[in-house]
């Protein structure tokens, strides 16, 4: 019996050592990233509710030691030597996952998962949001944590297992142990297996996220990537068609004319992260964007538009292609898919427009260059077209006052009309370093104030030129800013509200459009104003058409979605597979079912491209 005890004790020590790592690291994540005060009870509940996924990951990592114990029934195994490499791997994996998760969460607001791999092929851009010191400190933290975990695991396996005499009985004990590990990995004997939502227990999403083991989140999401056949199959074909009917009418007729000409020159300015919480005239912080507020009084402002997604690659594509966003998938990142999309540039090109795109950063990031060329842009200007000195003015590339000057030069030198230029700003982005100091006590607000000042200066120059009378300027952000102002959580119904502004001499008269809509509706709405067809845009709605009878806005985030309409707001958590917020109460889950129908329909469309 001594041999059985020795082997079981060895496995128990290893398993316990892993759990001893996971629990405090999850609580550290909570302490570092919390935006409000939490009680000792909250910490205890996070620790307890997160155990199922900790147990699963510990089970995965104990499989090899278990196999070695079985082999040890027949030959002597010097575990101290054989497990050194394995323990190094486990220590590196655990430390890297937890430090990366802890560091990325303030920017992304979701747990570490496979979407991280989207940005790994362009590390310089992925790390541009933070300083070199920040990166070095995280590397040091990862190495120190890995050393501590390795030491703990090494001590847990610093024994030798001798071949025993009662091999059959020991084998049976180890098989039973393997079965117990399997149940821990699976999540029990019921039909439902372990998944992210299993540890969700609170109406506060941060507490749910704190309970999730980032290694489990990463491994689980890897298995779910691009699973077109199985993903989001909420309804059968007939029920899906019935639920989706009428949500996205295609109608180029208009009930109101916003423009004084149907063939204006067009400038589309995508303002990095500048959501409504930063715009005073939209109920946001006072004094940050006085130029935008001034222009809103002079032009057409859409006050109830909502961003489709939460990152630039998603937001740009939703804006320019009028296409859907997805919880896990970056459409821009897939050339074979994105090149099949319709776009504003493509439709304008058919009407005789020359299309150009300006960005001060790396235009290859997230496959943007391929997407732009394949969807109708004739000319791309990016960081490499500026001087080396200019490329160093911001960690993401060329800062905004330089690119706004370049934008003016581009449009002023256009020799052939009509033309369309899209410009993506970048300075209002981490690490918030800008050549401007009007709001020194708030680096984030100051960065947006800087971009706003650049926008105001550009518009004033344009007004003084001959171009103004024939030009339409469209201003909107790609997405809103995470955890700001006051580091707010992402559950707020108004969090994703964005301003959409039409200004320029081609705007007929000032107007406020208060209809609920999405940024993806911009394409169909503008094309309809220009008497151009909108049929190619299945998921972009002309919100000024007589067919737009059900105004709503749909948003997706990392494995979740929300829908807001005149009846209220619903946030649906795909990890938990249930609505997490329904305000007011929606006992029949009408809003949730509409959101599910949209996700299933749009994802089916994407999978067939």
DSSP 199-261: G---SSHHHHHHHS-HHHHHHHHHHHTT-TTTTT--S-HHHHHHHHTTSS------SS--BS-
Compute CA distances 200 → 46, 203, 211, 295, whole Å: 9, 9, 7, 44
| Predicted pLDDT at 84 | 84
- What the block records as the tokens of 26 is 């999850």
d(CA 548, CA 302): 15
| Predicted pLDDT at 2 | 46
* Residue in the structure block whose two tokens are 């339409």: 472
The answer to whether 280 and 480 are in contact (CB under 8 A) is no
Backbone angles phi, psi at 593, to 5 degrees: -70, -35
| Predicted pLDDT at 200 | 75
Alpha-carbon Rg for the chain, nearest whole angstrom, is 27
d(CA 271, CA 292): 11
| Predicted pLDDT at 115 | 67
| Predicted pLDDT at 237 | 94
| Predicted pLDDT at 187 | 80
∠ Cα 387 392 398 (to 5°):
70
Q: What's the length of the chain?
A: 609
d(CA 371, CA 384): 18
Alpha-helical (H) ranges within 278-327 are: 290-298, 312-321
- Residue (of 257, 266, 301, 300) closest to 470 by Cα position: 266
Using one digit for the tens of pLDDT, what is the confidence trace for 7-36? 677 788 888 889 988 989 988 988 888 878
d(CA 511, CA 513): 6
Q: How many CB atoms lie within 10 A of CB 589?
A: 15
| Predicted pLDDT at 128 | 65
Consecutive 10-residue runs of the chain (609 residues): their mean pLDDT?
64 86 89 86 89 89 82 70 85 90 80 68 63 83 91 76 61 76 78 69 79 85 60 93 97 96 98 95 95 97 96 96 93 84 97 97 84 90 95 95 98 93 96 95 96 98 97 97 72 88 98 98 98 97 97 94 97 91 95 98 92
| Predicted pLDDT at 224 | 54
∠ Cα 8 13 16 (to 5°):
120
d(CA 480, CA 483): 9
Burial class (CB in 10 A: 0-12, 13-18, 19+), 2: exposed
Instruction: Give pTM, 2 decimals.
Output: 0.78
Strands, E assignment, 194-277: 265-271
| Predicted pLDDT at 303 | 97
The answer to whether 259 and 507 are in contact (CB under 8 A) is yes
DSSP 259: B
- What the block records as the tokens of 213 is 């083991």
| Predicted pLDDT at 176 | 77
d(CA 455, CA 461): 10
The CATH number for 258-507, chosen from 3.40.190.10, 3.30.420.40, 3.40.720.10, 3.30.43.10, is 3.40.720.10
d(CA 601, CA 231): 11
Residues 6+ apart with CB under 8 A from 102: 28, 29, 32, 33
**Residue-range domain boundaries for the chain:** 2-224, 258-507
d(CA 281, CA 272): 18
């Amino acid at each position: 019996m001594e041999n059985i005890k020795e082997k079981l004790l060895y496995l128990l020590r290893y398993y316990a050592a892993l759990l001893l790592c996971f629990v405090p690291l999850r609580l550290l994540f909570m302490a570092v990233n919390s935006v409000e005060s939490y009680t000792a009870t909250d910490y205890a509940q996070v620790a307890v509710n997160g155990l199922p996924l900790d147990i699963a990951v510990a089970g995965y990592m104990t499989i090899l030691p278990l196999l070695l114990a079985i082999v040890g029934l027949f030959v002597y195994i010097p575990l101290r030597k054989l497990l050194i490499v394995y323990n190094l791997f486990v220590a590196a994996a655990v430390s890297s996952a937890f430090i990366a998760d802890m560091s990325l969460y303030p920017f992304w607001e979701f747990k570490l998962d496979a979407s991280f791999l989207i940005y790994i092929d362009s590390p310089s851009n992925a790390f541009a949001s933070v300083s070199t010191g920040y990166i070095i400190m995280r590397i040091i933290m990862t190495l120190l944590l890995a050393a501590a975990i390795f030491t703990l695991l090494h001590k847990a396996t610093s024994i030798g297992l001798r071949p025993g005499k009662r091999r059959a009985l020991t084998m049976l004990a180890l098989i039973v142990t393997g079965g117990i590990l399997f149940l821990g990995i699976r999540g029990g004997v019921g039909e439902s297996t372990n998944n992210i939502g299993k540890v969700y227990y609170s109406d506060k999403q941060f507490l749910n996220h704190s309970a999730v083991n980032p290694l489990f989140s990463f491994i689980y999401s890897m298995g779910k990537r691009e699973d077109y056949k199985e993903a989001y199959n909420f309804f059968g074909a007939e029920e899906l068609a019935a639920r989706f009917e009428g949500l996205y009418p295609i109608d180029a007729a208009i009930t109101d004319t916003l423009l004084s000409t149907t063939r204006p020159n067009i400038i589309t300015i995508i303002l990095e992260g500048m959501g409504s919480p930063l715009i005073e005239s939209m109920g946001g912080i006072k004094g940050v964007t006085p130029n935008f507020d001034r222009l809103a009084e002079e032009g057409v402002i859409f006050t109830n538009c909502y961003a489709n997604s939460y990152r630039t690659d998603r937001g740009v594509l939703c804006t320019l292609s009028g296409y859907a966003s997805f919880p896990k998938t970056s459409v821009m990142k897939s050339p074979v898919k994105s090149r099949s999309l319709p776009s504003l540039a493509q439709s304008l090109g058919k009407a005789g427009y020359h299309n150009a795109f300006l960005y001060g950063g790396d235009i290859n990031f997230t496959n943007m260059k391929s997407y732009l060329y394949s969807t109708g842009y004739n000319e791309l200007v990016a960081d490499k077209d500026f001087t080396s000195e200019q490329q160093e003015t911001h960690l993401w590339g060329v800062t905004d006052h330089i690119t706004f000057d370049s934008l003016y030069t581009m449009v002023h030198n256009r020799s052939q009309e009509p033309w369309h230029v899209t410009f993506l700003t970048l300075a209002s982005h981490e690490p918030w370093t800008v050549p401007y100091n009007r709001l020194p006590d708030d680096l984030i607000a100051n960065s947006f104030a800087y971009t706003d000042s650049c926008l105001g200066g550009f518009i004033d120059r344009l007004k003084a030129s001959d171009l103004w009378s024939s030009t339409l300027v469209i201003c909107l952000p790609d997405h809103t800013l995470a955890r700001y102002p006051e580091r707010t959580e992402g559950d707020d119904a108004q969090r994703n509200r964005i301003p959409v502004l039409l200004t320029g001499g081609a705007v007929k008269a000032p107007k406020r459009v208060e209809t609920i809509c999405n940024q993806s509706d911009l394409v169909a709405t503008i094309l309809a104003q220009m008497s151009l067809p909108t049929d190619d845009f299945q998921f972009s709605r002309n919100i000024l058409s007589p067919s737009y009878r059900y105004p709503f806005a749909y948003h997706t985030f990392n494995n979740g979605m929300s829908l807001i309409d005149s009846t209220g707001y619903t946030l649906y958590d795909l990890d938990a597979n249930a609505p997490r917020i329904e305000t007011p109460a929606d006992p029949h889950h009408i809003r949730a079912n509409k959101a599910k129908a949209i996700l299933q329909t749009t994802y089916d469309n994407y999978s067939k491209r």
